[in-house]
Amino acid sequence: MKKSLLILAMVLACAAFVAAQAGVVVTQDILGAHLNYGRGCAACHAPHSGAWGNGANRSGDADAGQTILWGQDVGRLYGQTITTGNGGTIEVLPTQAEFVANTQPDVEGLLTCLSCHDGNWAQGAMMQNQVYEILPATYGTYNKIPTLLGNDGDGVGNYLANHPVGLNAIISCSGSYNWDCSEANGVITMNGANSSLFAQNYGFFVSPKAWLNNPTVQCTTCHNQHIMNEVSVTTGKSGGTKLATGYYATMFFVRAPYNPASGTARSNQTAQFCRECHGGEANESNGQGQIGTTF
């Protein structure tokens, strides 16, 4: 009996240690804001009749719901042109025919995301123009982050204050600001001296989308739309990350450990996420390869 209790205590202690390493206790449904005020999955993926069934087909899109059972109105977004930041990356959204025919599967994800998050043509969807999460104290007194893209302070129809996204937002290897990685058929491999070390120190969690053999940035490259507040880390995956296997806190549906509320003033984990693509600003590219990820 005593031996059994001892073994049980050791198991619990190990479990507690792993949990402490992962450092996250989730107290709400991982779908978070995408529970859509209780509507749940059906708000985005209407099981019957698409946007018609959700009462959201303001544009009268005759093909509502024919792509991934989408339940929000995309009609006013067909063929629209947006210009995103960093010099102006121009992206033309799919036409109605292209969307239904599924000829541009990655950028269609951009179109469906904008059917809720756009502030120009898609207003009136589920978005309320503020974040769902309770912001950490590190954000100061600013308690509202605009979320209606393209109309969030940079002028109506202007996406220049937003990260480049779309089929023309191509990730590159080599160069002054990029990783010493390699790319083939739209797939990035972190195999250079600096990039491989970074992948070990943090990981490579982003999900570039291949288009015409180029790795592109889509909404889902940085965000997992189905999991808002935690991310699963497995040692040996994501480029051989040294992070302990477990669940880590994240925010804003980010695909990686990203926790500005960590309580550690010197924590670099949110910076590490951006450095997955912006290699020139990483520790490893500036002679500081011994610096890992702090929590």
pLDDT digits (tens, 9 = 90+) for 19-71: 334 555 567 899 998 998 888 999 999 999 999 998 889 899 999 999 999 99
* Three-state secondary structure readout of the chain: CHHHHHHHHHHHHHHHHHHHHHCCCCCCCCCHHHHCCCCHHHHCECCCCHHHHCCCCCCCCCCCCCCCCECCCCHHHCCCEEEECCCCEEEECCCHHHHHHCCCHHHHHHHHHHHHHECCCCCCCCCCCCCCCCCCHHHCCCCCCCCCECCCCCCCCCECCCCCCCCCCECCCCCCCCCCCEEECCEEECCCHHHHHHHHHCCCCCCCEEECCEEECCHHHHECCCCCCEEEECCCCCCCCCCCCEEEECCCCECCCCCCCCCCCCCCHHHHHHHCCCHHHCHHHHCCCCCCCCC
pLDDT at 143: 52
pLDDT at 22: 54
Half-sphere exposure in the Cβ direction for 160 (13 Å, CA): 7
pLDDT at 11: 34
pLDDT at 75: 93
Query: What pLDDT digit, counting tens, does each position of 217-235 carry?
Result: 999 999 999 999 999 988 7
pLDDT at 2: 40
Please give the average per-residue pLDDT across 168-176, as a whole number.
88
Residue 218's nearest CA partner among 186, 176, 262 is 186
**Rounded to whole angstroms, how far apart are CA atoms 133 and 113?**
19
Q: What's the whole-number average pLDDT of the chain?
A: 82
pLDDT at 4: 40
pTM value surpassing 0.75: yes
Q: Residue 267: how many CB atoms within 10 A of its CB? A: 18
pLDDT at 19: 39
**Does the pLDDT at position 126 exceed 90?**
no
Rounded to 10 degrees, the C-alpha dihedral 113/88/204/174 comes to 160
Q: Residue 90: how many CB atoms within 10 A of its CB? A: 12
pLDDT at 189: 93
pLDDT at 89: 84
Please give the average per-residue pLDDT across 193-220, as a whole number.
92
pLDDT at 263: 66
Query: What pLDDT digit, counting tens, does each position of 269-288 carry?
Result: 899 999 999 999 999 999 99
Confidence class of residue 267 from pLDDT cuts 50, 70 and 90? confident
